[in-house]
Amino acid sequence: MSAILCTSAMHFSSLCPHEPKYRDASGHLMAKTVQLFRKNLSRPFNKQNCEALMGTALLVNYISWFDLDFLHGQTKLDLSKDQLFFLTPGIIELWFRSMPIFIDQGSIFADVARHSPRFHIEQALVSWGYDPERFVGLLMDIWDDPRYQGESGPLKSDEPTSCAWRLLLGMENQIPHASPKSPPAEESCEEDTHNQSLTHLKEVITDVTDKFTSPTHPAASMVLSSQSDRSVFETLLHRISPLLCCALLAAGPIRCDMTSISADIEELFFGVPVLCSGPIACWISDGDSRILVLLCHFYRAAQILLSKERNWWGYTRSCVMERLILDELKSRGLHVDLLI
């Protein structure tokens, strides 16, 4: 209930920014929501409470998107307290714990898990004659540019987001992202086929959870050892590039009608921070210039593609954070020409 009230107060705050009562209420409710959420995550997990926890987790992500209180009192940009990137990875762990229960129960969350907004966006871009990976090579040039490089150490296994990172790696290893350029698989309406797909998903999730929760498991160790910082950054670019492509098209002279993928665009924007765990979270916390450039493009794309009214939870953050990140990069002597 605290999460629902907090989200409502934040929405009212976005509609009435000059009314301090909504801002004050959301601040109080946010602290209470996070405290209760963390407390409930530490309790035994069962079919009676998993849907409520997952619903709360999604609201916490909305709350984290809207919350900019971590900026108060800062004279220099510090993202280490931005809970959008450091609280939401808990959603990943919750997802892995709850999904087998959702599948057994026939929960709506089970069907949502099979939906890939990124894939649908990529398919649309390909059908329009555009390369969804257009920005991967362009932004990898930033990664390789010595002016943007800083010192980074290896990821510690006890880093707060490391478990979520291992689970994501395990899932990607078991179910690689499909290419939008491949012929689309024929979708069957047969209930048996649908159930078989969910059963397979449950088996994969259970297997990944068993093998990747601990960093010392041989399967986890092998996959982790194959990851370089450069490949991690490139993987993140593959996730974000379709959004940047859509923003470029939306802001260009010849605009594409994106109505058919507008919900997918919203969903992918909403979910990208949840995936920023492990080394990515460390780069954000350390203020790595390369990740700041990528975040700046991400927030610029959000301003172009998200509606100020409908997507109130993300629009204001995107405007504020783009400006602050550009100022921070400028203070480092790095002039960034945004590609969109």
Rounded Cα distance between 99 and 54, Å, is 10
Residue 182: per-residue pLDDT: 62
Mean of pLDDT values over 250-254: 82
Rounded Cα distance between 164 and 112, Å, is 19
Q: What is the pLDDT of residues 63-117, one digit of tens each?
A: 999 999 999 999 999 999 999 998 877 788 889 999 999 999 888 888 887 789 9
Mean of pLDDT values over 314-331: 96
Residue 252: per-residue pLDDT: 81
SS3 218: helix
Mean of pLDDT values over 224-228: 86
Count CB neighbours of 253 within 10 A. 4
pLDDT at 246 over 60: yes
pLDDT at 156 over 70: no
Confidence band (pLDDT; 50, 70, 90) for 190?
Answer: low
Query: Which residues lie below 8 Å from residue 135, measured CB to CB, with a gap of 6+?
Result: 237, 240, 241, 244, 245, 297, 339
Specify whether the CB–CB gap between 143 and 233 falls below 8 A. yes
Phi and psi at residue 300, to the nearest 5°: -65, -45
Confidence band (pLDDT; 50, 70, 90) for 177?
Answer: confident
Specify whether the CB–CB gap between 234 and 140 falls below 8 A. yes
Mean of pLDDT values over 149-159: 63
* CA proximity to 92, closest of 171, 35, 2: 171
Query: Which residues lie below 8 Å from residue 180, measured CB to CB, with a gap of 6+?
Result: 119, 122, 123, 125, 126, 132
Mean of pLDDT values over 286-307: 96
- Of the listed ranges 178-187, 267-276, 291-300, the one predicted with least confidence: 178-187
pLDDT at 186 over 60: no
Percent of the residues in the chain that have a pLDDT greater than 90, as a whole number: 58
E strand segments, 224-297: none
Kindly list the domain boundaries of the chain, sorted by start residue: 2-181+191-331
Q: What is the pLDDT of residues 115-142, one digit of tens each?
A: 899 999 999 999 999 999 999 999 999 9
Side-chain-side CA neighbours of 14 within 13 Å: the count stands at 22
Q: What is the pLDDT of residues 41-70, one digit of tens each?
A: 888 788 888 889 999 999 999 999 999 999
Amino acid at 50: C
28 vs 183: which has the higher pLDDT: 28
